Structure 1
């Protein structure tokens, strides 16, 4: 090698060098405590798993863990076949086999209660590929949602006058339609890939009676025996359980409006949508998480006197006791397929929230309507959701398909908190985190306090500030994987990032908070070694939020990964936390080493 060549290599030697992680001081100290002569035997490991990781494992189970680790890290234990050295122990902890929540798809909640006792993974306008005004409609986002465990798919169905057929599209907008039959066939094929528990199809119906009959035939032909059809055409007296509805498709819709009424609403909505597109205004939605990194805030169109009304028109619920003219225009074969009836009784919100002991139904409220209703009717909403289903959907001005704070709905017992799954952002990350619980089956049993009624008909009051029940302690040791996965995380391989981590809680207002580590400059393997405490008044609803960003002094901070975890399933001890991209897809290598404990 010539001198000149050597100098070139020397200049770049530091930048090309692969980053190698080293065990933090706490890990070294634990290894010294649970080992002998530099080796951790099965007895040592069993004690470590019991005392530090708080796992109820037998010695035989500890032997299985040891054998798996010895096999996986055999290149680190060349001279030791029956025990772990420090490096292998560190790799064992910082490995995907040591996750912060159970990694199995095992369903462990009681699934024999009525559907109203569960939070259900719910999509909004499930057919849209992008924004609410001009994106294409397709079955692809429906398939993607089902593969992620979403259990409620929403379809807006409209007449296709040129073909005498039915399309799915966002009415009154510029969205390009997709055929309803294509959406149904994709649902049938992919419904139970991620979960065996029932899929609910909510239909926003804008059809004439003859097309309703055509849709009824379509549903019956495509879904066949998979379709759950209730006895008779009246409302159910009580919802069946998820267990009894395994691998079944359920139809939910309101008593249909007349076609001319729908057409008028669509024309009005189209005019308003055109105004919004022409104005092109936007503002930042802070959501409910406190001040956030700017490039991850959800932008929505300005909410003023010219607010887009289309969503309200599309989503408004129709009266259960519709007049005789409307009733006569409902195709009976279509009505028989509706298992979960939707509608608003006459008389305002007080009547809407009355609990009928002889029937159950679905009520829909926009996020704004729920916020306003919760100020006065909080306990009434909780009481209603003990038997009935409440669906909450994004306000119509979220034309960019952003989302809202799901905790408002969950803290009032709302089962179907409907989200735009095709977007991204912190609200959606929290939604994804909540439904990692219960094996990711798409159904999470509501906490007991939302289901119980006291001796004087008292129920949980979402406005009442409770005392602290538990305190979560979180220690962020370090992170790694960005160097090896920089193609997916968009970092420059030749310029080490300046990383900082953010850890916090999404929960009721009293529990919601975010905290931040220091920023470490020029380091592919940041070792923050910082600890945080989170007092929790309602830990049953809390979701742990974790993010990593790169500090950028001149521009927006760059995204480095995120994950959200249901606190109800968080394991204690030292865990390897895999990070995901902004859409929720897991990175190949990027993860954090963290410690969790409750006091």
Structure 2
């Protein structure tokens, strides 16, 4: 208890040097703090100490409410309150109107998602209003209003989104899978340490596809090892990596883990040793034989994450049935990695055909890097649902003679961009694809994963050791669905009877707008703060980075209020994300939050910021007002406005319970009047407005 108070006191005095900074003296702020102590009945004299038994949670909240006065909250409150200015309050009916008018999405179906009723609102007030006399009069004070806005009940997203909420029974190809590239590296691609610990850390973030670059061990031990070929990165034992994976494979997520092998071990003996390590260390977790329900045959879909729970799948070249001996590839253009490319050599390196730079040759003792080897019988037997094959075109993959859902291909980002617009999206509905960074990213930078999520690629592999914007976006997106590492694609990207074009403008779409009102406890430095809002989605979405003005040296509680940013067109909200980030005036990153557009809740919401590691900041947050509307093309706005006007003139149907409706003697009369009004409305609106509606949950 004493330690907690010591920490709290230290923080309090730190804040006192800058709290509500208005270029005033810290003595003034400390004096204000003592006045509030007295008002909170904690002490009466400045020389007194606070008794621990007196500092209850309720007293602390009262102290905090009075210490951190929020003018912007007061202005929101004043739009609704009754009573004298010195003792303002919101009545129950006014709070009901606020919740249904400002905080509720007006596009929600009122039958499935009815507006709140008085008894429900009363329960909310009871939870957040500490003044019992006001509560008895059905009144909510400014302090109670403030606590409600900052509560879990008023979260910016539905809390269930953080839990497992996707249906996990679809085929594996119907999910985006959190994937890592060159998982063992700690820094760049050419120098630095490889680390077994990286596998543990990456798996604990919820990653479900990790990479192992395997090389032939040297005498006398002849133990295979993992490193980045033709570079100065260090080596780590293959066996230790397998042990680390076994320890942490299912700590963060119970769903299947895919091991992407890049195999340069040309020794049958050492490949047999690798296979034996996998069998003995992974044990029953290693999926060796395909499930009875999903044989490796044409037109058989992949099993679901639910059916593969707790299983490890190996992605490695598989020996053809008719092949009797291990044969190396002969094509130097397709398979030879260059030192300048950091030994990039994916198992099915058909897509990265950059020629070797002149004068670059590999050392003879590492000749296996020149030609990636084929699998031996032992390693081949471990491969089932993730079989890498040489890519020979989408027509071949989708032909009726093939259609093997268990086959997949990898693409370097440059090749994937080339085929972006010609990519038949049917491929990713049934089979899996993996994208990885180009070899020239020697600093381990990342490409934007959104580009390839838009075309349905499941495994978009990134360098987890680099916390740049692409990696931050990846971590933010995969935070949801219980950190499972799997996100179900939008329905239009998985259904066989639907055609999806990521470059279209004709899918159901909407508008999202954000007003950045204020920030709280962003930093203890006396610097200006600005906020950026970015939208990541389909190519035809509104694309721009919005930025607030820089606050005038106030970092504790900066207020922007009038900064409203509108993204007029979001083609497919279920594939779009909003990033709200705060920076110091010199560009130093403070914190951010990645939010799925389709789950944004309307109204005044606090957004708690995260670090680059996606870890919650202690108290830093932004108060934001969010709006979500249906998109209507400009040429139809006039007709749409007339339709809305007519709809408002129709008979109002009160939100009643089933029991109340049964008791209503005029129910039949009411229904007849509704039918009559509806028929009249249909006659007046024979020309229908060509506007599509979309409900964001």
Q: Are the aligned partners of 1:547 and 1:560 in contact in 2 as well (CA < 8 Å)? A: yes
- Rounded to whole Å, the distance in 2 between the matches of 1:21 and 1:334 is 66
In structure 2, the partner of 1:459 is: 499
- Rounded to whole Å, the distance in 1 between the matches of 2:512 and 2:391 is 46
CA shift, 1:522, in A, is 0.9
| Range with bigger deviation, 95-104 or 515-524 | 95-104
Q: Are the aligned partners of 2:317 and 2:389 in contact in 1 as well (CA < 8 Å)? A: no
Matched, 1:528 2:560: yes
- Rounded to whole Å, the distance in 1 between the matches of 2:301 and 2:383 is 14
| Range with bigger deviation, 445-454 or 527-536 | 445-454
In structure 2, the partner of 1:443 is: 486
Match for residue 573 of structure 1 among 574, 588, 603: 603
- Rounded to whole Å, the distance in 2 between the matches of 1:178 and 1:311 is 18
- Rounded to whole Å, the distance in 2 between the matches of 1:157 and 1:62 is 61
CA shift, 1:594, in A, is 1.0
In structure 1, the partner of 2:181 is: 124
Matched, 1:88 2:169: no
Q: Are the aligned partners of 2:181 and 2:211 in contact in 1 as well (CA < 8 Å)? A: yes
Q: Are the aligned partners of 1:34 and 1:45 in contact in 2 as well (CA < 8 Å)? A: no
Q: Are the aligned partners of 2:302 and 2:405 in contact in 1 as well (CA < 8 Å)? A: no
Match for residue 224 of structure 2 among 159, 166, 169: 166
CA shift, 1:94, in A, is 2.9
In structure 2, the partner of 1:27 is: 76
CA shift, 1:102, in A, is 3.1
Matched, 1:592 2:635: no
- Rounded to whole Å, the distance in 1 between the matches of 2:92 and 2:207 is 41
Q: Are the aligned partners of 2:532 and 2:581 in contact in 1 as well (CA < 8 Å)? A: yes
In structure 2, the partner of 1:323 is: none
- Rounded to whole Å, the distance in 1 between the matches of 2:403 and 2:227 is 37
CA shift, 1:181, in A, is 2.2
Q: Are the aligned partners of 2:335 and 2:372 in contact in 1 as well (CA < 8 Å)? A: no
* Residue correspondences, number: 524
After TM superposition, list the pairs within 5 Å mapping 1:465-504 onto structure 2: 465-466=505-506, 469-483=509-523, 486=524, 492=525, 496-504=526-534
CA RMSD of aligned residues (A): 3.7
Matched, 1:427 2:494: no
In structure 2, the partner of 1:199 is: 257
- Rounded to whole Å, the distance in 1 between the matches of 2:24 and 2:580 is 38
Q: Are the aligned partners of 2:384 and 2:406 in contact in 1 as well (CA < 8 Å)? A: no
Kindly provide the CA deviation profile for residues 467-488 of structure 1, in whole angstroms up to 9, marking residues without a partner as x: 67100121111111224xx4xx
Q: Are the aligned partners of 1:113 and 1:241 in contact in 2 as well (CA < 8 Å)? A: yes
Match for residue 211 of structure 2 among 154, 157, 163: 154
- Structure ID, larger Rg: 2
| Range with bigger deviation, 10-19 or 191-200 | 10-19
CA shift, 1:329, in A, is 6.8
Q: What SS does the aligned partner of 1:160 have? A: coil
Structure 2: tracts of 5 or more residues without a match: 1-22, 34-66, 106-112, 320-324, 353-370, 630-697
Matched, 1:272 2:272: no
Higher relative contact order at CA 8 Å, sep ≥6: structure 1 or structure 2?
1
- Rounded to whole Å, the distance in 1 between the matches of 2:256 and 2:314 is 11
- Rounded to whole Å, the distance in 1 between the matches of 2:275 and 2:601 is 47
- In the superposition, the TM-score normalised over structure 2's length comes to 0.68
In structure 2, the partner of 1:364 is: 410
Structure 1: tracts of 5 or more residues without a match: 1-8, 274-307, 320-325, 487-491
- In the superposition, the TM-score normalised over structure 1's length comes to 0.78
| Range with bigger deviation, 104-113 or 386-395 | 104-113
In structure 1, the partner of 2:549 is: 518
- Rounded to whole Å, the distance in 1 between the matches of 2:546 and 2:348 is 38
Check 1:206–1:26 CA distance in 2 against 1; reply closer, same or farther (3 A cut): farther
CA shift, 1:384, in A, is 0.6
- Rounded to whole Å, the distance in 1 between the matches of 2:493 and 2:75 is 40
CA shift, 1:363, in A, is 0.9
- Rounded to whole Å, the distance in 2 between the matches of 1:580 and 1:186 is 28
| Range with bigger deviation, 233-242 or 438-447 | 233-242
Matched, 1:310 2:343: yes
Kindly provide the CA deviation profile for residues 264-299 of structure 1, in whole angstroms up to 9, marking residues without a partner as x: 999975x633xxxxxxxxxxxxxxxxxxxxxxxxxx
In structure 1, the partner of 2:383 is: 338
CA shift, 1:350, in A, is 4.8
